A and B are shown apart, each in its own frame.
Chain A
């Protein structure tokens, strides 16, 4: 699909823009994450407008892994794990923003730049669904990626 290419290019330009900013000397990815956060926060509102309320936290996570992921990344999350105490691990074996970069461990050091946006999207979406969390990503071999969600309990 042609229009998907556009998002990919825009995404890599965002990464490029943030990292080449003058005052960004330490490769600070938080701005990318924040762009993702506000995107996620807004998009989830439109996506869930006509859905019934989710039963519980796990149900919400399942929604993120299936419908949400499919509509954004064209595939489902391959594996969802949880310890039932607020930690969720989402594994995508062919993460879209990494599939065109490399397969294997070459360029591994660049992977964090390309997952920060998505960490933000997940965090923003959950935030608007009433779940405060911290999201980090872990890439061992591209293009597979694990997102760790740690729900903050108050």
Chain B
């Protein structure tokens, strides 16, 4: 006697990720008194994940090396579609072409999340910025990435800014800084 499967496994997966991440952030808020430290930890965790995710991404997509930031932006967009099932819009290019924004209408990581007022300094999704930075570092691109707008703080959409810093010469072994 087998029950018919009544659970949508794709949905469950994304909810599980959201909830697990929430539990982790909660744990960190207990561990650190300073919200800024939590932001830093989340970013570092994301960085570690990004370093491993890029391998998975390259293996699945067979992507060649990106020659300019526009290609990179497209690849990042593709990665978001693959891993989080969302498609951010790329916009707000800087005139020099080395800075752009990823705009999210919705973000699976913040589903079921509400930020209490005393945590207004918390950058809940710092992990995403870390992922981007870690992943790009593995393909010899040093970037900075940060939040400009955040739905959790009352903005209408979430915006992550990515800025190209420099091209890393000869892979330096990655370590923690």
The segment from A11-19, A105-113, A129-137, A142-150 found at the interface with B is A11-19
**For chain B, which range describes its interface: under 10, 10 to 19, 20 to 34, or 35 or more residues?**
35 or more
Interchain CB contact under 8 A, B20 and A9: no
Is B3's CB under 8 angstroms from A46's CB?
A: no
- The answer on a CB contact under 8 Å between B45 and A6 is no
Task: Say whether B23 contacts A13, CB under 8 Å.
Answer: no
- Which DSSP category, helix, strand, loop or mixed, fits chain A's interface? helix
Cβ B17 vs Cβ A3 within 8 A: yes
Q: How far is the CA of A7 from the CA of B16 in the complex (A)?
A: 8
Does B7 lie within 8 Å of A6, measured CB to CB? Answer: no
What is the number of contacts between chain A and chain B, taking CB atoms within 8 Å? 92
B85 close to A (CB within 8 Å):
yes
A74 touches B9 (CB 8 A): yes
> Main SS of chain B's interface residues?
helix
B36 within 8 A of A: no
Residues from chain A with a CB closer than 8 A to the CB of B16 are 7, 39, 43, 72
Asked if A67 and B3 sit within 8 Å, CB to CB, the answer is yes
Q: How far is the CA of A72 from the CA of B7 in the complex (A)?
A: 10
Bound-complex Cα distance A14 to B127 (A): 12
5 shortest A-B CB distances, which residue pairs? A71-B12, A2-B82, A35-B23, A38-B23, A71-B7
Please report B residues at the A interface, Cβ cutoff 8 Å.
2-3, 5-7, 9-10, 12-17, 19-24, 26-28, 31, 41, 45, 48-49, 52-53, 56, 60, 82-85
The 15 sampled A-B contact pairs (Cβ below 8 Å) are: A2-B60, A3-B10, A3-B83, A4-B13, A5-B56, A6-B17, A7-B16, A17-B28, A38-B26, A39-B20, A42-B19, A46-B15, A50-B6, A66-B2, A71-B7
